[in-house]
Amino acid sequence: MKSITLKPALLGLIISSSVASVAAPVFPSPGNSRTSSHVTHVIEVKAKTAAERSRIVDLGFAIDELRSDAVYIFGKARDADTLRRAGFRATATPAKSEWFTIPQAVEAMAARFTSLTEVETQLQDLATRFPNIVEVQTLGRTNENRVTKMVRISGKSPAQAEAAKLPVIFYMGCHHAREHLSVEVPLRFAKHLVENYGRDADVTRLVDSREIYIAPIINPDGHAYDYTNGIRGRMWRKNRRRNNDGTYGVDLNRNYGYQWNTGGSSSTPSSDVYMGTAPFSEPESQNVRDFVNSQPRMTTLLSLHTFSELILYPWGWSNDSIGQNGRGNPADLPVFEKMARDMAQWNKYKPQQSSDLYIASGDTTDWAYGEHGIFAFTFELSPTSMWDGGFYPSPARIEPVFEANLKPLMYLLEFSDNPRRVLTQRAPSFLTSPAKRGVAAASFSDVQF
């Protein structure tokens, strides 16, 4: 994830001497102690510029929170020593057990985050109830031999879609295991499309004229490891590859082949941004690669993450804009910028080039655009801060976050026939009219300490 805000009053609450803070529990992975996530502290690091933030990531740290003059990292007390030796001002404060617990607010008792098995069951249920437009497909298998499921949604058969040269769009969630909201949004979007087919004229038109693929969980092994009865998490980010040194995991969103290992990732297996031994070393990223490679009509891709409320577009690997130094088509930059600004009108997220935050190479969207010319975006969903729920917000927030993003998801679907037409054609009335379902930016004002 990438983040941009922090409430000063809450910062004082957390970073002040904190002798009464409760150390977060350590959740061991299979094997020796080096395999556990060992998140015991939050590290505040003073950093004001993108270059400073990029240097922090190059040291092997995943930035979990970012504000104007500092970043925050979930890690160990000794990580602060590493950062200080590199010339940064760093402070380690004991983590709190609440950060690993999903709040169970009264109004949310009927809701909870969805397990891997439940996601698979719900996808199959959609195919059973709507066999004319939904098909469950296998994206591929994982390190631990789990099957990665996705759905194809279209009013046309594969043969009809090929004959008509229908545009293909791909929505993905959960590259990073602890980002559970990134599962819920695409899952709910699949339900929205199929349950409104034949009832809503715009949904029906788009389902009939597009091939839509939705994979809620790209990282099933990591998700299954992090998910604990819908009420706790292990702060796990990566997949579950057993590395040669006994540690676990590769950051799947640093494992894609375009400009792999050019900054913003780590060659150290214990790092949260470990890029793997080679581009596409992981079966999970291979699954995405092979599927996208098989879809020459794919025009649009969305990778959902949490948290920060951002709409990001290439490049992440470079500070160059699209089209500079021969990388990408300069005519595409205004298209990306316009699409990001348009979508931000509804979810109220901040639109920007990914590397404005810090350099990160080997990510999904850079690869999709750099290799295939696909208009690819990353959404960093709500909340804005670890102090407002972070990776484990209350399940009461699931529906508001989906509502806030429904029109952006529909916007991508609408313009997937030709994203460049956003520069010359107005959005259809169903997008510009007042929200049908009370869509508004999610509010994350509750504090969980």
Q: What is the pLDDT of residues 345-372, one digit of tens each?
A: 999 999 999 999 889 999 999 999 999 9
The runs of H, that is alpha helices, within 278-372 are 283-293, 333-347, 364-372
Name the percent of the chain in helix, strand, coil, to the closest 5. 40, 15, 45
Q: What is residue 333's predicted lDDT score, i.e. its pLDDT?
A: 98
Element (H, E) at 407: helix 398-414
Question: How many CB atoms are closer than 10 A to CB 122?
Answer: 16
Place of tokens 């990073």: 176
Place of tokens 């990134």: 182
CATH annotation of 106-432: 3.40.630.10
The pair of structure tokens assigned to 97 is: 């057990």
Among 143-152, 282-291, 338-347, 436-445, the minimum mean pLDDT is found in 436-445
DSSP string, 122-161: HHHHHHHH-TTTEEEEEEEE-TT-PEEEEEEE-SS-HHHH
Alpha-carbon distance 385 to 387, whole Å?
Answer: 5
Alpha-carbon distance 313 to 33, whole Å?
Answer: 38
34 has pLDDT over 50 = no
Q: Which of 337, 380, 403, 414 is catalytic?
A: 380
Question: How many CB atoms are closer than 10 A to CB 433?
Answer: 9
Please determine whether the domains at 8-100 and 106-432 fall in the same fold group of CATH: no
Q: What is residue 105's predicted lDDT score, i.e. its pLDDT?
A: 53
The pair of structure tokens assigned to 307 is: 């948290």
pLDDT digits (tens, 9 = 90+) for 245-268: 999 999 999 999 999 999 999 999
Backbone φ and ψ of 149, nearest 5°: -95, 150
The pair of structure tokens assigned to 165 is: 């040269």
Average pLDDT, the chain: 85
Alpha-carbon distance 152 to 121, whole Å?
Answer: 15
Among 172-176, 336-340, 388-392, 442-446, the minimum mean pLDDT is found in 442-446
232 has pLDDT over 90 = no
**Overall average pLDDT of the 109-113 stretch:** 68
Backbone φ and ψ of 232, nearest 5°: -140, 160
Residues 174 and 114 sit within 8 Å (Cβ to Cβ) = no
Alpha-carbon distance 179 to 1, whole Å?
Answer: 9
Catalytic residue flag (residue 380): yes
Give me the residue spans of the domains in the chain: 8-100, 106-432
Nearest alpha carbon to residue 70 among 52, 86, 58: 52
Fold adopted by 8-100: Alpha-Beta Plaits (3.30.70)
Residues 34 and 247 sit within 8 Å (Cβ to Cβ) = yes
The model's pTM: 0.85
Backbone φ and ψ of 406, nearest 5°: -60, -50
